[in-house]
A and B are shown apart, each in its own frame.
Chain A
């Protein structure tokens, strides 16, 4: 069978190119399907990245707890009692629940003024332990993060966020070694954290000044109280179970009724991330459903128009048959027309949508937003394979109808 030699290909291309409007209209359905599919899938993944930037650097398996007023009387205490975590809860929890990896105490004060060299700016001051970096990874540009040694010797050192740095050190350069003043106390800058995460506890990390937890507690007279406990679960453990273990352990220690659900606020990032993941999985399924639906509609359009075309070309096909084309040659011709039409309009759509997505990426890069709307190679490959299959399927029905045309039909349509 001479289905795909150069000569047949030329014959097919000629037939397609000499019936331009028909070819264009037929190809447009497929073009639009591919275009929509790729644009939507690129847009979807881009949006996901944009949203994910908010969670950047944050441990996906962490549990955050904050003490709240009790709502049930227990062991002689009235309801409505305020209670606090204490610093020794850290070791207590680690001992009570072995699945916990890191337990980090967090204290914070909002809207404090930091001054340096006559300039001042407002930010959040946080007291953290060294292992808090596991919960929310800093991205250190200069210096280092708060260390265990800082805590042991109670050093008055701080790590500043990006915006604080820009406000206090507008000339740039390494800020480490300089002393900044917050609420009457001088802290030596030991690090610059330029992380972008939007989901930081107690405010954006770019507007944060981090100092050792024990320094914070003595400077701000917290006594032994800790406002928030952040912890991560070891991999392989079920965070929703651990969450309840943590609650019961803390309730036991602080004499809170075990069934008082409102006495402690719990945030489980694993669940939150799972929710976001599920949301995007849903969005993705929708995109593919709509995209493939459009593509399918396009292919059915091709099939339909080819069907009409075959009817319209009864005479032509009859003539071809009369002068010696075998049914298989006609079948091959119509199928090839369909496949070539589908593939070329799909390829054009692929090129155009990749170009547009690249343009979006370029604009994004100009805005210094790190995210890519471009579709992956895999997506493009899947689209291409789907297209070829669709082209063949779309060509089948018209091709078989064309094959059934008898040469006498050429003379009947006079």
Chain B
């Protein structure tokens, strides 16, 4: 059974004028997959990601996460699932500015009620794995974009989630660090088997994932297997941007 199963997901935003964003999404994503959802802006890819991350509700259809129906959850239940099952990586990093790198990484464990000492140890362990141990006590404004995103990745990983959702993770990075971040995500997927879903509009980013889901005007267009990254016209030596 797939980790994520979507059946006929519909979502309409109603800000004065109804906007039908998702028009019946059917999708299966298995455990350990490294997937990208690709589409132009306004295609509904971010909305889909928000629904996958239980940050937003959907109007009709069914969303099964690890065999559990995610529908009309209370905020508390949603928070619990997000905390235990899902890690988030954002385009603008979304680190808390007045906390140091290690404190930012610790925060999800704080909400799990893990003791200060244990969560500090785990955060430091993770940061050193990502080569950031010397930056642990720095505040986000003292870090480069790539370092910030790696801190954010560490924060997403600290709870050992089943899924990592990345919303334009390279959107604020230059091409070199973009590549590094994507390689990091790829190796995390290979090493720990965590399911990674990346939302992007950049083909180069999508190309570094194993499966590309094209979304257009709220409908899934095609699903492309991308096992051999170098075969793709965007692969090989093409620069990401």
Chain A residues with a Cβ under 8 A of chain B:
2, 7, 10-11, 14-15, 18-19, 315-316, 318-329, 406-408, 410-411, 414
Complex Cα spacing A223 to B112, Å: 99
B95 to chain A, nearest CB (A): 8
Q: A8: nearest residue on chain B (CB-CB)?
A: B110
B177 contacts partner chain A, Cβ-Cβ < 8 Å:
no
Tell me which residues from 66 to 105 in chain B have a Cβ below 8 Å from any Cβ of chain A.
Answer: 75-76, 79-80, 82-84, 87-88, 90-92, 94-99, 103
Considering only CB atoms, which chain B residue lies closest to A6 in the complex? B116
Q: Does B115 contact A (CB under 8 A)?
A: yes
Whether B79 and A326, one on each chain, are in contact in the complex, defined by CB atoms closer than 8 angstroms, is: yes
Task: Decide if B167 touches A324 in the complex (CB within 8 Å).
Answer: no
B137 in contact (CB, < 8 A) = no
Report the bound CA distance from A65 to B57 in whole Å. 89
Could you tell me if A323 and B108 are in contact, using CB atoms closer than 8 angstroms?
yes
Asked whether A319 lies within 8 Å of B96 as measured between CB atoms, the reply is: yes
Checking A11, A318, A321, A328 against B110 with a beta-carbon cut-off of 8 angstroms, the contacting residue is A11
User: B48-56, B126-134, B219-227: which one contacts chain A?
Assistant: B48-56
CA distance A329 to B94 in the complex (A): 19
Question: Per a CB cutoff under 8 Å, which of A2, A10, A324, A411 touches B82?
Answer: A324
A326 contacts across to B, CB distance below 8 A: 75-76, 79-80, 111
Confirm or deny: B113 has a beta carbon within 8 angstroms of a beta carbon on chain A.
Answer: yes
- The docked-state distance in angstroms from the alpha carbon of A321 to that of B91 is 17
B11 within 8 Å of A (CB atoms): no
- In angstroms, Cα B46 to Cα A275, docked, is 76
Of A10, A14, A316, A406, the residue contacting B55 (CB under 8 A) is: A406
B155 interface residue (CB < 8 Å to A): yes
Q: Please determine whether B55 and A408 come into contact, CB atoms closer than 8 angstroms.
A: yes
Out of B75, B88, B115, B116, name the residue touching A323 (CB < 8 Å): B88
Residue of B nearest to A19 (CB): B98
C-alpha spacing A321/B97, complex, angstroms: 16
- Which B residues are CB-close (under 8 A) to A320? 96, 107, 111
Instruction: Evaluate whether A324 and B55 lie within 8 angstroms (CB atoms) in the complex, with A319-B94, A411-B94 already known.
Output: no
Which partner residue on chain A sits nearest B50 by CB separation? A408
B208 contacts the other chain (CB 8 A): no
Max chain A Cβ within 10 angstroms of own Cβ: one of B80, B97, B111, B159: B111
Within the assembled complex, what's the spacing in Å between the Cα atoms of A327 and B79? 8
Tell me if B76 and A328 are in contact (CB < 8 A): yes
- Which residue in B50, B87, B90, B115 is a CB contact (below 8 Å) of A7? B115
Instruction: Give, as a whole number of angstroms, the nearest-CB distance from B105 to chain A.
Output: 10
Say whether B94 contacts A410, CB under 8 Å.
Answer: yes
Task: Report whether B88 and A322 are in contact in the complex, using a CB–CB cutoff of 8 Å.
Answer: yes
Q: Give the 6 A-B CB pairs with smallest separation, nearest first.
A: A324-B83, A18-B98, A326-B79, A324-B111, A323-B108, A326-B76
A411 pairs with B90, CB closer than 8 A: yes
How close is A326's CB to chain B, nearest CB, in angstroms? 4
**Cross-chain pairs A/B with CB under 8 angstroms, 18 sampled:** A2-B113, A7-B116, A19-B98, A316-B97, A319-B95, A321-B79, A322-B55, A322-B94, A323-B87, A323-B88, A323-B108, A324-B82, A326-B75, A327-B76, A329-B79, A329-B111, A408-B56, A411-B94
- Chain B residue, CB-CB nearest to A404: B75
A324 to B88, CA, bound (A): 10
Contacts of B80 in A (CB 8 A): 324, 326
